[in-house]
Chain A
Amino acid sequence: MADTAPLLELRHVGQSYGVGARRFVAVQDVSLSVSEGEFVTLVGPSGCGKSTLLRIITGLQRPTEGQVLYRGQPLRGVNPHATIVFQTFALFPWLTVQQNVEIALKARGISPAVRTARAVDLLDRVGLDGFESAYPRELSGGMRQKVGFARAMAVEPELLCLDEPFSALDVLSAESLRGDLLELWTTGRIPTRAILMVTHNIDEAVFMADRVVVMDKDPGRVVADLPIGLPHPRNRKSLDFLAVVDHVYATLAGETGPEPVELGGAPGGPGRIRSLPHITIHALTGLIEHLAERPGLRADLHRLDDDLGVDTDHLLRLTDATELLGFATVAQGDITLTPLGETFAEASILVRKEIFATRIRRLPIFTWLLSLLRAAKGQRLEWSVVLAALELEFPAEEAERQLDTIVNWGRYAEVLAYDDSAEVLYLEPVGSTATGPIPA
């Protein structure tokens, strides 16, 4: 390996924000290399820093620690040999399809005649001939992303970075675009030397890549680097394929740990504080009810996202929540309902609320907040005060999301209430809660 340097190499790259007590690590100690001819995907739950990593790799963002090497040279500024295709397409809505492709060439000082010819040729190749003078808003999502690909190809990048390029598309468009990209890549019709794709769709990652790098969050880090040994074209139905998918899911979802580990610490206390997965109660009960109808009260994780029509990211947050609340356990890529989960599925609305209330009272973050509220004057606390306390534990944006989730869950369980116009959190008066009096 010493004589052939990889195309891209990350050495102990880390990214953190803020200073002092409010310092949060988004990415921790990531070392990774991509060689010529490789198609690598990064998968992981939202918040694991995979998009941040992509921005660091292209030079849009400077890491706070570590080094990015491109062809053995440290990267300074935006990498001129790399480009990104964005999830949101990021087309200029006021430019026509052709102008959107041409702008990339214009910035390189290429003469109008040459760049027009090249843009038309590229649009032709992605199958957009006839749409040159259309505006992006006239196109469907799939066609917009084709423009995004054509624009990226225009600058003939050695390293093509894809940031969840198919996840904003409908199922059929996404599938056909995946096929197109794979064909361009495997037949070598584009000068691209390596592709790095961020996705949360595991099926997609296994279908396309040579290697799947699995990341986890809190802090964002690499937990596994799995080579996919399957030949192209891959058959999604084949047992080998399913085995690999299952393996990635198992790595990603982990195993339900013993309760103290799952619950984590309380704000201000020792130990890693466990963040609440941002999900709605509807979706959670939906998952539990679905599992309750399955034989053996269990399901393969990688089948669930298709069955429930949710994306992998959302599914992982849901399974996370069921584990945290003790409604289900996850092991080896399977999720199984616990007896408590089964009782919950069969209970009436009011009893469900009771069960839910007892469960969330065990969560350190709720114990902490409830005791704060009990100690507060009039058992009321301003939203901003609680938020400030949470901001010591989470980055500002995440703190707000946590508080939103706390209020959402707490309101459902009727353990706390929130007055939006006064922006005050308060305890439900004793006696009116479904769970009876609050222990002092």
Chain B
Amino acid sequence: MRITRLFRVEQPAERPFTWGDVIVLLVIITLIYAGVRLAYNAPPAVRGPEISLAPGTLPWYTFRSLGRMAAAYALSMAFSLVYGYLAAYSRRAEQMLLPLLDVLQSVPILSFLPVVLLSFSAILPQAIAAEFAAIVLIFTSQVWNITFAWYQSLTTIPKELREVSDVFRLGWLRLRTLELPFAAISLIWNSMMGWAGGWFFLMAAEIFTVGDRDFRLPGLGAYLQAAANRGDLRAVGFGIGTLVVLIVVLDQLVWRPLLAWSDRFKLEMVENRTPPTSWFYDAWRTSRMAHWLGARVAYQVLEAAEGWIGRRLAVTVASSSGSRAGRWGWYAALALGAAGLLYGSARAVEVLLRIPPGQWAAIGVGLIATLLRVTAALAIALAWTVPLGVAIGSSPRLATWLQPVIQVTASVPATALFPVFVLALAALPAGLNLAAVLLMLMGTQWYLLFNIIAGASAIPQDLKYTSALLQLDRRERWRTLVLPALFPYIITGAITASGGAWNASIVAEYIEFGGRTLSTVGIGALISHATASGDYPLLLAATLAMVATVVTVNRLVWRRLYGVAAERYRME
């Protein structure tokens, strides 16, 4: 059986720069400033709990890590549903929420880690602070994609189905009958991607050590890093094995059944010839107990709940008509928010102005160095994934052999392996530099590979026959058929990949290892260094600079290429 996975972050359409973007910019500056401001009061030294390397502790650590992921995911879903609903149905909210979504979707989330950790530890007890920081980080990494998927589904519901809901006055039943089913497939795909990304961030967030501040959380990521730090290869093996098993189990017992189940939510009125399948789902569906649970318990509970909510809602709708007070409250909140934004941004600018030119130069150099690393990682990834992806995509036999292997390998988050790279490469000259590029590569190549496989297997057979009949030589065939056909897939993969690479720079360019501090030139190293030395203005400036750079690159390069790909190289 072949599975082609497309890793794709839905891209908002190109839109002109609006006043909404200005506000978004101010919001981000204010948020980071507020975080940095709080960080001034962060305790100067933090000691994390001891991480035990005994294999017996692994189940407990696994449970803790899984709990963080689940908490962040639940938070993301709840947030997404509300945010997407507002953006889709309120014209005024949309003007604000969409640009915010657009920018936050492309911001390198890990660059917030130091600010979030420091500010949380200033206001919360230490154990809770690190826990919250990890959850917030995972939340921010996955929430935007899910929100955008939900928003996009809501705005693309066919007009007739909407009209039917209105004519039959479905009211709040619309959510369960129309909106959630319509969005189900997209929500599940984006949730899967969100979880894959979440592991990456969790592994990084469970240990963050800079100077005297040692933030750590008992969990799989911390276990792996501690193991690598002490050179305990056996423990590294146990850790990675546990992680792989956990990810495979989740895939088999949660995501694949969900995908198989969600096939019914396709809008197409034709039967799918190769629907997604899942042995677990099939077993569940045919089991008696599941049938009983579904038909008796779930159905009754749902009916009762819906009847109850329906009656409740009918009452509230009737009573909440014409609320002048509500409107004034809204205006007051707006005014307060605007004042807060102006104050925060002004203070942030004030702090930035105090930064000496030498540090700005360092930020510039760091940005260029990291950009070069990201580009190198992308180039290397392209160089090997294009030929292999095309080979797999056009040969079913190769696919059946390699696909499972690749899927398991790809499921290991790169950040989990990073300590191992460092262990292996630290002795070499420029070892960290090499390890950093390697980490970026590990974080990015799979997105490209999977997309290229999907693209190659989508090349129409007629075109392949035609190019064979025309006796195009290898070079000509690649130029006229393969590369143009792959272009949209490569671009969608590369957008996700470059985001991952920028994120990786935070953990890859500066590392405390075996009692030593290794660092290389780069914006990530600068951010970590600022965190370690408590240089908060520098932390603010470097974080803002990185966010600005990535957003600009996205706008100027990726978004445009995406437009070209969608316009010209689309296969219909």
Contact = CB atoms under 8 A, between A and B. Distances in A.
Given A94-B181, A94-B264, A103-B170, 19 more contacts: A60-B166, A86-B163, A86-B164, A88-B158, A90-B160, A90-B163, A92-B164, A93-B267, A93-B269, A103-B168, A103-B173, A103-B177, A106-B173, A107-B169, A107-B171, A108-B169, A109-B310, A109-B311, A144-B269
A95 interface: yes
A60 B167 CA distance: 7
A88 B310 CA distance: 29
Contact of B167 (A78, A93, A112, A136): A78
8 contacts: A83-B167, A84-B164, A90-B158, A107-B168, A107-B170, A109-B311, A137-B269, A421-B568
B294 interface: no
Contacts of B303: 112
B270 interface: yes
A135 B272 CA distance: 13
A362 to B, nearest CB: 35
A55 interface: yes
A90 B164 contact: yes
A355 interface: no
Interface string B96-135: 0000000000000000000000000000000000000000
Closest 3 CB pairs of A and B: A90-B160, A104-B168, A94-B181
B268 A109 contact: no
A28 interface: no
A103 B181 CA distance: 14
Interface residues of B, number: 29
A98 interface: no
B307 interface: yes
Contacts, number: 68
Interface in B515-539: none
A406 B168 CA distance: 42
Nearest to A87: B160
A9 B265 CA distance: 40
Given A95-B177, A137-B268, A137-B270, A55 B169 contact: no
Contacts of B181: 92, 94
Contacts of A83: 167-168
A155 interface: yes
B423 interface: no
A74 interface: no
A108 B173 CA distance: 11
A124 to B, nearest CB: 21
Nearest to B169: A107
B164 A155 contact: no
Interface string B268-280: 1111000000000
Contacts of B171: 107
Contacts of A80: 169
B318 to A, nearest CB: 14
B265 A94 contact: yes
Interface in A338-369: none
Interface string B177-201: 1100100000000000000000000
A151 B164 CA distance: 10
B266 interface: yes
Given A92-B177, A92-B178, A109-B310, A86 B160 contact: yes
B459 to A, nearest CB: 21
A329 interface: no
